[in-house]
Every structure is written in structure tokens, then in C-alpha cells.
Structure 1
């Protein structure tokens, strides 16, 4: 089974979709897929589906949702192969497990590539890092589980994946900057800073890209725009690191502030 989470939910067995149309079974499938090859406990599944309003019939209803998913898997299998639906959506003591094996969920592949890219970056291999991180980010087709109504458990999972995506994107751009691709990343960074007007990391990268592309005055303009947003919306000044970068651009002295370390 191949499952996509990074965008709309999709799950195909032998080319046939097994995604149910009803909201709660979709939540169940999404949560099991995110934790594929691991047991997800019944209380966790109930919390996701009903939050704090778990009905007395929750156990029976959950079993019904599992049965619905198995029926869709059975239809997709069409009686072929050695495995049946119960071998894929497995009942285990205290919970359920989606038995897929590695490489079948796009979110897991994203995390694998992003981790490998981060390792390459830490070793100073910026070309490999940029390539791996670009491949990781290409797996995203939109906001994670954009068409699934999420409960408290999936909300946290989506938040985690979104933060990991932002970190991977920031690191990929940093790798490109270290490779001297300053002009190439300016358009992308302009869009990112417009969409994330309080994100100091993207602003700092835009300032450095503009500075090294011969647009120092535009780098100073980007700083002032960020500072304006911070002061108006949060009542805060930019961080010390960003102020150092601003000073480096002002003086035309590309010191270490223009080449900051990136957190692991």
C-alpha cells in the first residue's frame, strides 16, 4: 500500500484507492498511516476521533471503522496475493497496526531524506544536503492532511510535520547560499518573507542573498520591514543576531554574521 499524507490523504492498494469518504474513518486511516508498523493504542485512536467526548459506544464504533477500512482493503486486493486485509490492518493487544514496511508513506520518506540532508549539511557537504533536502521538500503537495478533519492527536502530528518542513526548507536554502546560489534563491525568499513576515530566519537569508547579489540597500529594506512587523504586532525588536547582520550590511563588512551556523 502506498500512502500520501503530505497534502490530500491518498492510499492505494494495487492501484485502487482505499480511502473512505466518511470523516472519522479517514482520521483513523491517517493516524495509523503516520505510525505505520507501530501499534497505535485504542485510547489514542479514541482521543483523536472523539477528543474529550468519547461516547459509551466508542469501542464498538471504532471496531466498525476498522471493519470498514478492511473491507476497502479487501476489495482492492481482489483475492490476489498471500496477504489479506487482516494482515495489513492488524489487531494487536490494546490497539491496531498498519503493516506496510519501510518506504510506503510519504511523510516517513520526507523525514528520512530531511535527516540525511541535515547530516550532510553538518558534515559540510552542502551540495548533497541541498539535493537531499530538495527531494524531501518535493514530496509535499500541500498542507499535510489538508482534506482530513483532524482531532487533538493529528493536530499535533500536523504541527510537527509543518515545523519539520520549515526547518528543512530553511536548511536547504542555507545550503544553496553556502554554494553561492545567492541570486537564484532571492525570488523564493521574497515569497517566503511575504508569507512569513515575522520569521527572522527567512529574513536573514534574504538579507544575505541580496547583499551578496549586489543589493545591499534592498537587504536593509528587508530588515526594516521585518522590524516594523515585529514592533507593531509583538512589541519586540529583532534578535541580537539579526541586528548584527543588519550592522554587517550597513558597514559593508561581511563578517561571520553573514555566515551564521545553522542549528542541527
Structure 2
């Protein structure tokens, strides 16, 4: 069984993918248990995930109902007997519930493992293998994480972590492609990421570099101007020094062949929105 959270919530069994059909609250409960598979999730944490700090008096009973509904969906999708689902898949533990992390493959874990190995391989000098691994990790994504799930504190935090990791993977992949002259591929990777993250300076920096090195300096300057407009109007700040310095080099037609990647230690990467 394969379970996908990087895009619409779906479950695949024997090659057949089925979107999880649950109302928003039970969907959030099941998604939380799946996202944190292998951990015992206290009922109190599930209550907080669904209702925040204002749960109804029936919250505990409702959580039990949502777990029961989730088990019915799992039984229908997998073909397992409901008792088997309850004893081996979505299991009741003292004080909470756990989803068996050995019973399925999870796309968010697959992504993280491929990205981790890919970046390690790149650091070791394995350029082509590293590019392949990072590309495969990004192909795991079918859309935004938890795109059709109501998120509370736990899922919201995990979604932010995953999206930031995805951006870091795109930056690492584009950096190595720019370095070996595969500029069109880097531009292709960066264009949608920049569009989806209009305040993220690191992505814009890499996009400007790829465009400028490929000879599209006017387009690179347009990217800078749009980033500046968004940062000033949304956050009231100017682009950071690295981006401004890159703009200066492009404006003055200076050599960009050895321009460094965006420095992660500057703390100027705007939050994902």
C-alpha cells in the first residue's frame, strides 16, 4: 500500500489509486495519523489538530467516531477486514492511536530520503547521480503538501517543513545544473517555483543567475523588479544584499560565471506563502 500526502490525499493498492473520501474533520485525523505513522498520537493532540483551543464538549467522542470512519475507509480501499484494520493498521493504544508505519509506503518519507541521499551524493562529487536522485525526489510531489486536508498545529508545521525542504531541494538541484551549464533545465525547474513563492529570495536569486548566465539578462532584471515589488508591498522590506549585488552585476554586464549561490546563512529567505 502506498499513501500520498504530497498533493491530494490518496491511497494506492496494487496500482489502483483512490482519493480518500472523508469529511474534513475525520480526514484531518487520518492524515495526522498517516503523516506521523509509527508514533502514538494522543487523543488530546488529535483534538487540538481538529479544533485548536476551542474543542466542543463532545470532542473525545467525536475523535472516536472519526477514527471509526477512517477505519471503514481503509477497510474498503484495502479490502482488509475491519478487525484487521483495527488490529494491524490503525491501532488503538493507551491514550491515543497509531498508524502502522510498516504497513505502507509514504510519499513524504520517500521524498525526504531521496533528497537526503541526493544532496549527500552531490557533496561527495557524484554530480549525475545526485541530479538523478534530487530530480526523482521532486517528481514524488503531485501538488502542495496536504492540499486537500484541513491542517492544525501538527500538520501545519509539517507542511511548512516539507515545503521549505522542497525549496531547498530545488535550489540544490538548480545550483548544480547551473554549475555544469545545464541552464535550460535549471530555468525550467526554477520558473514554477518562483511563481509559487513570490517572496522567496533564494529561489529568485538562482533564477536570476540562470537567466543571466544563459544570456537573458533583461528577463533576469524583470525577475528582480518583480521580487522587489512583492517584498516592498507585502513585507515592507527591500531585497537582501546578495540579490541586490547580483542585480548590480547583471546591470553592469559583469562576469557571472563564478557567482556564488545564495548564502543560506544570511537569514533573508522570506517565508513560504
* Root mean square deviation, CA, Å: 2.9
> Which residue number in structure 1 is paired with residue 146 of structure 2?
145
Counterpart CA distance in 2 for 1:190 and 1:222 is 10
What are structure 2's unaligned runs of at least 5 residues?
Answer: 266-273
Counterpart CA distance in 1 for 2:103 and 2:76 is 23
TM-score between the two structures when normalised by the length of structure 1: 0.85
What's the CA shift for 1:262?
6.0
What are structure 1's unaligned runs of at least 5 residues?
Answer: none
Does the 8 Å contact 2:190/2:207 carry over to 1? Answer: yes
> Which residue number in structure 2 is paired with residue 254 of structure 1?
256
DSSP-derived class of the 1:128 partner: helix
> Which residue number in structure 2 is paired with residue 205 of structure 1?
206
Counterpart CA distance in 1 for 2:72 and 2:200 is 46
Deviates more, 1:21-30 or 1:193-202: 193-202
Counterpart CA distance in 2 for 1:165 and 1:102 is 26
Counterpart CA distance in 2 for 1:230 and 1:79 is 52
> Which residue number in structure 2 is paired with residue 9 of structure 1?
9
Counterpart CA distance in 2 for 1:219 and 1:18 is 40
DSSP-derived class of the 1:11 partner: strand
Residue 13 and residue 100 in structure 1: after superposition, are their counterparts in 2 closer, same or farther (change >3 A)? farther
- Any runs of at least 4 consecutive aligned residues in structure 1 with deviations exceeding 6 A, and if so which? none
> Which residue number in structure 1 is paired with residue 34 of structure 2?
33
Aligned residues: 262
> Which residue number in structure 1 is paired with residue 67 of structure 2?
66
Residue 50 and residue 16 in structure 1: after superposition, are their counterparts in 2 closer, same or farther (change >3 A)? same
Counterpart CA distance in 1 for 2:189 and 2:41 is 39
> Which residue number in structure 2 is paired with residue 214 of structure 1?
215
Does the 8 Å contact 1:210/1:216 carry over to 2? Answer: yes
What's the CA shift for 1:190?
4.0
What's the CA shift for 1:134?
1.2
